[in-house]
Structure 1
């Protein structure tokens, strides 16, 4: 069994450097060669005379003993090697940027926004060695109080939650990759979600949009109506190919796909009308929606389309998914089925829409008034 002992090595000016002695030797994380010493970068006075010197000795020895105890636990678990100097000097911002570069779709945009806020908070040279629970909590507090990079409005709590979750995901991956000695992500509490007003369309409003159309962006019209008829997200719709749409029987169709957000494999039944919205079938490898990237231009087009249709609601693409869920529940589909159709992992996520329907019922109950 490897033993870890705290030892001293005399240096200049009547001081001794503190180091850990491993016996037998362990592999050095930088060179791979066996080593017995890990210098802690701390020193004590050999013959302290001043009160401050004595206090420093006490603090340094207590800290060094804490590190020694942790190293002893590490080697007993089979972690034969302290964090290397190279790992400590790794730029976490650069690492985060690399993680963001591997994302696609709307998720990639969220990662890039989170990266911008991380740079605003810590600059571009935040090292792995600088990451502590306190530092991470400070970034969390920053997100809850800062302004959006797109305008002067304060970030909403749910937007801050989304960005901080990206940060925590990068921390978790850094720990898995061996850049972090401790799983800091597990020690940092996240941001609580805030219940928001989910904008949706009534059946009459959806019908008005269909009749009005929008010649400036016909692919957007197709994608939006398809979302309202299937409940699919933008990121999923723009990735689905014609080969994934299968005809199960007369007028019966289903789409087999992997959800971009949850990575869950789904076989989603869809109506014949939803398929007909897409137009003539193309090659199996061609996407059902083409030349449509998520951007502010899309939201601008949605607002123009709504205005032309006489709808005053603030539309985003996600409103069509909300519309699907709300209409299904309003028309009598049970919440469990709606939850499965939306691909929710937990029923409580779908219950948000049930609250909307309950509110509509309460409003309806007050519409009939007798003059008594």
Structure 2
């Protein structure tokens, strides 16, 4: 399971690209790192899916394509910033879609270029954004696993527990390194 660390995510966010297509694909990938949406769901994300939630802030209200499970995702500041950035984009401006998403194949190709440009040695695919949301953005920041499960649209908590094991293994590895130094 490939996901980005906090530092790797930051490197990708901060990189300035000369090619606009790389910037767009980076931004959409980052958007999904902060929402947990898989490729098919972000591709179908429409203006009507952004609503005001129970807290008076913007949320995504949609259904997972894969499971038809209702999703309610509060928009974090980074995700909101990306939506705002692309609201005037020619592919978005006169349509119902929120982001100018490329094909999954093209997006994954661009992600390989992005990781090479920022010197991250990982086989990144679009699905890594979802894994990054679950591990680096939510669980590593203390969001309870039940909440993460709901945000991801999982129907069983056991599906989400895979991400928690990844976090535990990271902690274990880090502690082993520390033991070697202390």
TM-score range, shorter chain: 0.7 to 0.9
8 Å CA contact 1:252–1:271 kept in 2: the answer is: no
For residues 278-299 of structure 1, what are the alpha-carbon distances to aligned partners after superposition, in whole Å with 9 as ceiling and x for unaligned? 215466952111252222x322
Secondary structure of the corresponding residue to residue 230 of structure 1 = coil
For residues 21-52 of structure 1, what are the alpha-carbon distances to aligned partners after superposition, in whole Å with 9 as ceiling and x for unaligned? xxxxxxxxxxxxxxxxxxxxxxxxxxxxxxxx
- The aligned runs of 1:172-191 (5 Å cut-off) are none
| Higher alpha-carbon deviation: 248-257 or 231-240 | 248-257
How far did residue 221 of structure 1 move? Answer: 1.7
Task: Give the equivalent residue in structure 2 for 1:269.
Answer: 74
- In 2: Cα distance, 1:314 partner to 1:323 partner: 13
How far did residue 369 of structure 1 move? Answer: 3.4
Task: Give the equivalent residue in structure 1 for 2:174.
Answer: 364
Task: Give the equivalent residue in structure 1 for 2:28.
Answer: 223
> For the pair shown, which has the larger CA radius of gyration, 1 or 2?
1
1:232 to 37, 53, 67: 37
- In 2: Cα distance, 1:353 partner to 1:292 partner: 27
Task: Give the equivalent residue in structure 2 for 1:292.
Answer: 102
For residues 313-368 of structure 1, what are the alpha-carbon distances to aligned partners after superposition, in whole Å with 9 as ceiling and x for unaligned? 11000011101101111121111111111110001111111110110111122233
How far did residue 249 of structure 1 move? Answer: 8.2
Task: Give the equivalent residue in structure 2 for 1:351.
Answer: 161
Indicate whether 1:199 and 2:8 are aligned: no
Indicate whether 1:242 and 2:47 are aligned: yes
8 Å CA contact 1:205–1:311 kept in 2: the answer is: yes
Larger helix percent: 2
Using the size of structure 2 for normalisation, the TM-score is: 0.85
How far did residue 219 of structure 1 move? Answer: 2.7
2:12 to 203, 206, 209: 209
8 Å CA contact 2:45–2:97 kept in 1: the answer is: yes
For residues 143-172 of structure 1, what are the alpha-carbon distances to aligned partners after superposition, in whole Å with 9 as ceiling and x for unaligned? xxxxxxxxxxxxxxxxxxxxxxxxxxxxxx
Task: Give the equivalent residue in structure 2 for 1:315.
Answer: 124
8 Å CA contact 1:325–1:353 kept in 2: the answer is: yes
CA spacing shift, 1:202–1:221, aligned 2, 3 Å:
same
| Higher alpha-carbon deviation: 286-295 or 210-219 | 210-219
How far did residue 236 of structure 1 move? Answer: 0.4
CA spacing shift, 1:367–1:216, aligned 2, 3 Å:
same
For residues 83-116 of structure 1, what are the alpha-carbon distances to aligned partners after superposition, in whole Å with 9 as ceiling and x for unaligned? xxxxxxxxxxxxxxxxxxxxxxxxxxxxxxxxxx
Using the size of structure 1 for normalisation, the TM-score is: 0.43
Task: Give the equivalent residue in structure 2 for 1:304.
Answer: 113
Secondary structure of the corresponding residue to residue 257 of structure 1 = strand
- In 2: Cα distance, 1:350 partner to 1:200 partner: 14
How far did residue 303 of structure 1 move? Answer: 0.8
Secondary structure of the corresponding residue to residue 369 of structure 1 = helix
Q: Is there any run of 5+ residues in structure 1 with no aligned partner, and where?
A: 1-197
| Higher alpha-carbon deviation: 207-216 or 256-265 | 207-216
8 Å CA contact 1:251–1:272 kept in 2: the answer is: no
Task: Give the equivalent residue in structure 1 for 2:140.
Answer: 330
Count of residues paired in the alignment: 174
- In 1: Cα distance, 2:74 partner to 2:181 partner: 48
